[in-house]
Amino acid sequence: MTVRRACTLLVHEGLVERRPGKGLYATGGRGHGVPIATRMIQIVAGNLRWESSLQMSRGVQAIAKRERIQVQLYDAHGDMELDMAMLRQLPSGQAKGAVIVSLQTPPFCEAVYRLKTTGFPFVLADQRLRDIEVPSITADNYAGGYAAGRALLEKGHKRIAFVGDLVAATVQDRLAGLRDAMADAGLPMPRSLIADVLAGKDRLGDWSASVEECTRDLLQRPSPPTAIFFSCDAVARSAYRTLGAMGLSIPQDVSVIGFDDDPLAEWLPPPLTTVRQPFFAMGQAAMELLCKRMNDSNTPVEHRVMPVKLVERGSVAPPGASA
């Protein structure tokens, strides 16, 4: 009651104004409102050790700071159960909205669907659900896959393999882009050159053994691929170790492309050609969409697709470059 009376007095004195559905804003005595942090939102990240989650969270915080919205950051540390528990608690907590970084698993999608039914405002980052209409921000994964395919084709590669997490919708789009690039060049994409590193495995666990197995299997065949497109830079880094242990050189024996352009990509020997995702800008866009939904729950559901960029470095060369 004391706070309420104080706010009423500030409004009466012209120092604060009420904006329906938005909160209290300081007038500054000149009619230019400066928002007071009267709202809080939650960032739910599956694992902040992932550079993508970290950069998107920073993007969210940049917009929240401008809007004077308090941000509470939750890191599940790669624990699926903790992440699910946080999603279930959102409607009953103090947060007025959330940016949720996708984990791209069936249980996660089910939890997002249940959250949607509560009417709680949220935006999904790094995934667009195909069967559930919720606001989302993604990179243009299809265009990135197509660009990676074109880069390899232009170097003369015809046998191109793909290694990655085929469960994730974003990775499926990257593979679709690669396939279409090859189809446009009149080349097939045999199923035998596509390897799923998560077949029967924990998506949040250690993938390194599976990446090694898939990479060795592809390159020990009678007609091995001359290039491999890895679904993300982390998988490509793991494959670098395997290729070195096999006595193979990049790009002389096999060309390699990744996806993400994480900070370590340019420091690999050789520096990794990759597709850059604008993670910071994705976080900013997610926060902008969330502000719209918190201010007006009837605003139409939006899906934003952010552009990507192919970053060419030293891990791609024409086939047989060592000759």
Which position has the higher pLDDT, 226 or 82?
226
Which position has the higher pLDDT, 300 or 178?
178
How far is the CA of 43 from the CAs of 25, 97, 125, 157, 297, in angstroms? Answer: 24, 9, 10, 42, 19
Rounded to the nearest angstrom, the gap between the alpha carbon of residue 253 and the centroid of all alpha carbons in its chain is 31
Question: How many domains, the chain?
Answer: 2
Distance CA 76, CA 49 (A): 10
Residue 51 has pLDDT above 90, yes or no: no
Distance CA 17, CA 39 (A): 16
Residue 31 has pLDDT above 50, yes or no: no
Which position has the higher pLDDT, 276 or 200?
276
Residues 128 and 158 in one domain: no
**Secondary structure of residue 119 in the 3-state scheme:** coil
Which position has the higher pLDDT, 34 or 302?
302
**Secondary structure of residue 299 in the 3-state scheme:** coil
In which band, very low, low, confident or very high, does the pLDDT at 161 lie, cut at 50, 70 and 90?
very high
Closest CA to 226 of 189, 245, 251: 251
In which band, very low, low, confident or very high, does the pLDDT at 32 lie, cut at 50, 70 and 90?
very low
* CATH code for position 168: 3.40.50.2300
Residue 322 has pLDDT above 60, yes or no: no
Tokens describing residue 4 = 């309420």
Distance CA 36, CA 157 (A): 57
Residues 44 and 154 in one domain: no
Question: Lowest-pLDDT range, 47-51, 166-170, 262-266?
Answer: 47-51
Residue 14 has pLDDT above 70, yes or no: no
Residues 132 and 149 in one domain: no
**Is 318 a member of any domain?**
no
Residues 193 and 238 in one domain: yes
How far is the CA of 244 from the CAs of 154, 187, 227, 317, in angstroms? Answer: 25, 29, 15, 17
Whole-prediction pTM = 0.85
Q: Please, which contacts does 124-132 make with residues 24 or more away whose CB atoms are closer than 8 Å?
A: 124/100, 125/56, 125/99, 125/100, 125/101, 125/282, 125/283, 125/286, 126/52, 126/56, 126/101, 126/102, 126/170, 126/282, 127/102, 127/168, 127/169, 127/170, 128/169, 128/303, 129/169, 130/169
Residues 227 and 109 in one domain: no
Residues 218 and 290 in one domain: no
**Is 322 a member of any domain?**
no
Contact yes or no for 122/289 (Cβ under 8 A) = no
- 117: amino acid identity, one letter: T
**Is 315 a member of any domain?**
no
**What is the residue range of 67's domain?**
2-139+279-306
**Is 320 a member of any domain?**
no
* pLDDT per position as a tens digit, 266-299: 999 999 999 999 999 999 999 999 999 999 988 8
Residues 260 and 147 in one domain: yes
Residues 22 and 128 in one domain: yes
Which position has the higher pLDDT, 291 or 37?
291
Residue 29 has pLDDT above 50, yes or no: no
**Is 313 a member of any domain?**
no
Question: Lowest-pLDDT range, 121-125, 165-169, 255-259?
Answer: 165-169
List of residues 6+ apart from 97 with CB closer than 8 A? 39, 41, 42, 120, 121, 122, 123, 290, 293, 294
Residues 50 and 110 in one domain: yes
Rounded to the nearest angstrom, the gap between the alpha carbon of residue 217 and the centroid of all alpha carbons in its chain is 29
Residue 218 has pLDDT above 60, yes or no: yes
Residues 145 and 251 in one domain: yes
Q: How far apart are the first and last CA of the chain?
A: 82
Residues 197 and 246 in one domain: yes
Residues 109 and 195 in one domain: no
Label residues 198-219 b or e (16+ Cβ within 10 Å = b): beeeebbeebbebbbebbeebb
**Secondary structure of residue 154 in the 3-state scheme:** helix
Contact yes or no for 305/292 (Cβ under 8 A) = no
Distance CA 224, CA 192 (A): 11
**Is 215 a member of any domain?**
yes
